Amino acid sequence: MADTWDKMKEKVAAVLEEYMKKNNQQELSKDMLTTLLTRLGLEEDTTKQCLDSVFDGASTIPVAKFMTEVFRAGPMPGFLTGEPDIFNNIVMLTDSYKVTHHLQYPPGTTKIYSYFESRGGRYEEVCFFGLQYFLKKYMVGPVVTSRKLDEAEAYFKVHFSNPVHGYDPSLFNRASWEHIIKTHGGRLPVSIKAVPEGTVTPYKNVLFTMENTDDAAYWLTNYLESLLVQVWYPTTVCTQSREQKKIITRWLKETGTPEVIDGGGHLFKLHDFGFRGVSSVESAAIGGSAHLVNFSGTDTMAALVCCKEYYSEPAAGFSIPASEHSTMTSWGREREVDAMRNMLEQYPRGLMACVSDSYDIYQACEKYWGTELKPLIEARAGTVVVRPDSGKLPGIVLEVLEKLEGRFGSTKTPTGHKLLPPCIRVIQGDGIDIDSLEMILNTMAESGWAADNLAFGSGGALLQKLHRDTQKCAFKCSYAIVHGEGVDVVKDPITDPGKKSKKGRLTLEKQDGRYVTVTEGKGAAGADVLVEVFRDGKLLVDDTFESVRARAKEGEVPVRRVSKPVGHAKDHLNNIVLLTDSYKVTHHLQYPPGTTKVYSYFECRGGAYENVCFFGLQYFLKKYMVGQVVTPQKVDEAEEYFKIHFSNPVHGYDDRLFNRKAWTHILEKHGGKLPVEIKAVPEGTVLPYKNVLFTMENTDDECFWLTNYLETLLVQIWYPVTVCTQSREQKKIIAKYLKETGSEDIVTGGGLLFKLHDFGFRGVSSVESAAMGGAAHLVNFLGTDTMAAMVFAKNYYGEAAAGFSIPASEHSTMTSWGREKEVDAMRNMLEKYPKGTVACVSDSYDIFQACEKYWGTELKATIEAREGTLVVRPDSGELPGIVLQVLEKLGSRFDCTTTSTGHKLLPPCIRVIQGDGIDIKSLGIILEAMKAAGWAADNLAFGSGGALLQKLHRDTQKCAFKCSYAVCKGEGVDVVKDPVTDPGKKSKKGRLTLECENGEWKTVTEGKGDPTKDILVTIFKDGELLVDEKFATIRKRAEIA
């Protein structure tokens, strides 16, 4: 907000005083306050929602209460702070094809009841977590407003426009949304019952159900699926983290240190390093919280905010001072031991971790830690934790332990395993996932080492390297009411029995101590473990994080019923002071004395694809860094978190850790704007990997520490860059096969741009990630169902029409008709959408019967008479076989032609889309198989979900951010990381330029480049955005040859 909090209070007080005198009143109504706060610049809908909790059911409140309890001294109340979340429009938080589904259910439908489950997966036990976040963030209160409807309709008019037939206004169900506003005050008329969060159940059990509570809103249940299925992410993170906890606990016991478990030490044995390696700030918050259900160690500050704001936990996770490569290498190779000594001097008590592989981990262990600094370590009141960050696993861990034992000695546990003295331990954070963790602990035990010598850090593997298929999470309709009669609904594809859904109304019951899902309405309501948590816009259960943790550990814990209305949550995550790995908070104490400049760069230092398409930096700058992003309130808020987060049970909190003085300097000297300069390659540029993509340096000598403080946030650009790069590679593959099978006109005519459709909203880890990743895909294609990507492209890149879609069915709209009436459901699709392209999922029961008997016989004449194309969608079956079988079945009923290369082509009235199991590998396999079988590539389009937006990670392109130059005591220093344990991790040295001559790209290092040839452009300086790229320009740069 433009005004300071003090000015806001003054304005409010003045307006209230005027109002009271004029009306002779001492009581405030909600309508009056809404009007007042709206006049002062607050959004009306949000204000109404927030005041619900202030009034707590009362019709009026005294002026004194409002002024003392709401407009109190200190930070601005949470509901008045935070940036508006442009993605938080419930009408658009869906796959866009669902906008058309109200026309597809059977006439007379009044109820749709659906459920969410983990229908299999890697782990047999599932720990349910995260639903409460989605409900509070997106669904509680009057979330439907006229303004949001107008906004959504404007998007849909563009999104569903057809170049020939225009826009069909019947597609968007505006009347029904207006009914929700008029009848329900904008609150969502649905009921959700869920297993209490933290509960551990066997997979293949119902985890939550949802149904409409207003007969006219039957379509709403599955409209909300896309958003709520994202609970797969925190559930899967929580589940996998818990499995890792079981492994660590087992090895602690088996190697003789059960007292570590008894004392709670095991809760710090797997530390979250994942902030930079996950796909967005929101995903970091959700996933980081899920990990904290099982552990207490984290550097992901966003997770702490999430736990506090959504689960009432003020102290969910803790950390310690720790170094990074920039704080070590800026001292230079010759002074590495001085950097280490500085760590000991700056942190004389408690735990402290130091990365030690910048050059030679073995020398660091034996010569530095084990000899020169050994007396200091042994005299400290605490523990030094040595961190190797490269080398082959598990060998590097054993080598480090042996080197340290050679200098510090060891004792034996009761099981005969060696244990280093308490003053020294090791943390392994490189390459850690659940498999390597188990392997390392097993190898340590076999080699005579106790598990307590080691802690783990995990980043991308903890929060990113998992997907919806890890636990096979799905949401399916199982019951409907049509013309007053209940109908048990089931999906039962002959091409994949594993995808058969549950039937009827469900209960989750405990039988003989084991959870069982009872189907077909046969369960006992009194025995149902599912609890109603949400109804008609109100949160009914508000669980604490403490309760969730207790369930995950101990079993059943009663839920906490809501005693008063819960207000609609704002965007709590946008505090630049907290958008970092928390160990960076301590780094201002670690650089060499006299440091005035830190210069770092970002690159893809290798990866799956040799050419990288750069995209997404502008979003991070606009969203998180432009303008006055540092405020007194944000500094205060951050300090409160850090005081708890860095507290030590013995030594308390060291108030030097948080650099409040420097943040105050930014406020006073720069008006809260960030004094850094960023130069970057223009977005959309395609260049070989191993080249610099952007650089960052401080512009104020006193803010040398700020450059790498911002690393955590900006390294998340790995995600849109990687999505964009991989999407572009898929575009090249599709174009190749279109040309090779005689359809080059599809490439030149723009049809190629609709050959890979984004199905990824539900399969990605958060709304923010869906927006960012979906937009990255749209750099290369035009087809999407991810509406958040449209909002992203418009608001951050000035593109009003980034992507398009068509009416399409889903299993719920087909199976609610029943097996016997599937052909009627298909006929309805043709009747409701008589023009243009329409897609219909056709494998609910028998895809072959659907192709031959229904589409190919009974409905053939209607299809051929339509002004447009029917797209048949199989959604199960083995690849590539199922695609060929469907083409053959359709080819036997519809007259094919041949292309110039002799490949068969279905008539324009019918095509196929394959959306199940599509990734870059299967896409190529399918197209090659089609070509070999004589089918043209133009017969097929692809849809891709999790593989497009989720099944990739920071290591896909080996994205990294490293310090390469510093100024210390007035002298420039070329900085380099060069570990003997991994030459591939050697960093670039000095100031960099990116140059291109005769099509050859090269990064010139050590300040030897020609500034006049530098392709890097200054895009951000001192809080100001200097370049504002348009999406159309980015697309042109990214075009394939």
For residue 189 the two structure tokens come to 């008329």
Mean pLDDT of 937-966: 98
CB atoms < 10 A from the CB of 620, how many? 24
For range 1005-1016, the mean pLDDT: 97
Pairwise CA distance, residues 926 & 943, whole Å: 13
281 pLDDT higher than 50: yes
The answer for residues whose C-beta is within 8 angstroms of residue 276's C-beta and 6 or more apart is 459, 581, 711, 712, 713, 715, 716, 718, 954, 961
Evaluate whether 359 touches 979 at the Cβ level (below 8 Å): yes
Q: What pLDDT, on a 0 to 100 scale, did the predictor assign at position 29? A: 78
Residue partners of 755: CB distance under 8 A and separation at least 6: 734, 738, 746, 781, 783, 940, 941, 942
Q: What is the pLDDT of residues 129-188, one digit of tens each?
A: 999 999 999 999 999 999 999 999 999 999 999 888 889 999 999 999 999 999 999 999
Please, are residues 620 and 282 in contact by the beta-carbon 8 Å criterion?
A: no
Residue 1041's pLDDT band, with cuts at 50, 70 and 90, is confident
Query: CA 173 to CA 179: how far, in whole Å?
Result: 10
Q: Which residues contact 553 (CB under 8 A, 6 or more apart)?
A: none
pLDDT the model gives residue 5: 46
Indicate the pLDDT class of residue 572, thresholds 50, 70 and 90: confident
Q: What is the pLDDT of residues 882-898, one digit of tens each?
A: 999 999 999 999 999 99
Considering the chain, what is the average pLDDT of its residues? 93
Q: Which residue has the tokens 């998992």?
A: 466
Confidence at residue 65, expressed as pLDDT on a 0 to 100 scale:
61
Among 527, 845, 864, 584, which Cα is nearest to 705's? Answer: 584
Query: In which order are the strands placed within the sheet that holds 867-873?
Result: 756-758, 940-944, 910-914, 867-873, 835-841
752's CB contacts (< 8 A; 6+ apart) are 731, 734, 735, 738, 746
Q: Quick one: which of 496, 563, 583 has its CA closest to 276?
A: 583
For 658: left if phi > 0, alpha if psi spans -120 to 50, otherwise beta; the answer is beta
Residue 4, pLDDT score: 47
- Which residues does 8 contact at the CB level (< 8 Å), separation at least 6? 1, 40, 76, 80
**796 confidence band (pLDDT: 50, 70, 90):** very high
Q: Report the alpha-carbon angle 199-203-208, nearest 5.
A: 60
Distance separating alpha carbons of residues 170 and 102, to the nearest angstrom: 10
How many angstroms separate the CA atoms of 326 and 937, rounded? 50
Query: Which 3 state secondary structure label does DSSP give 879?
Result: coil
| pLDDT value of residue 84 | 63
What is the helix (H) or strand (E) element at residue 758, kind and residue range?
strand 756-758
Question: 165: left (phi > 0), else alpha (psi -120 to 50), else beta?
Answer: alpha
Residue 1 binned pLDDT confidence (cut-offs 50, 70, 90): very low
User: What share of the chain in percent tops pLDDT 90?
Assistant: 89
DSSP structure class, residue 377: H
Q: Which residues contact 706 (CB under 8 A, 6 or more apart)?
A: 662, 666, 674, 675, 676, 698
pLDDT per residue as tens digits for the range 198-211? 999 999 999 999 99
Give residue-wise pLDDT tens across range 707-757: 999 999 999 999 999 999 999 999 999 999 999 999 999 999 999 999 999
**Three-state SS at 455:** strand
Question: Which run of H or of E encompasses 837?
Answer: strand 835-841
Band of residue 557 on the pLDDT scale cut at 50, 70, 90:
confident
Q: Using N-to-C axis directions, what is the helix angle for 881-891 and 920-932, rounded to 10°? A: 40
Say what the pLDDT of residue 238 is.
98
Q: Kindly report, residue by residue over 479-493, the tens digit of the pLDDT.
A: 999 999 999 999 999
How many of the other CB atoms lie within 10 Å of CB of 666? 24
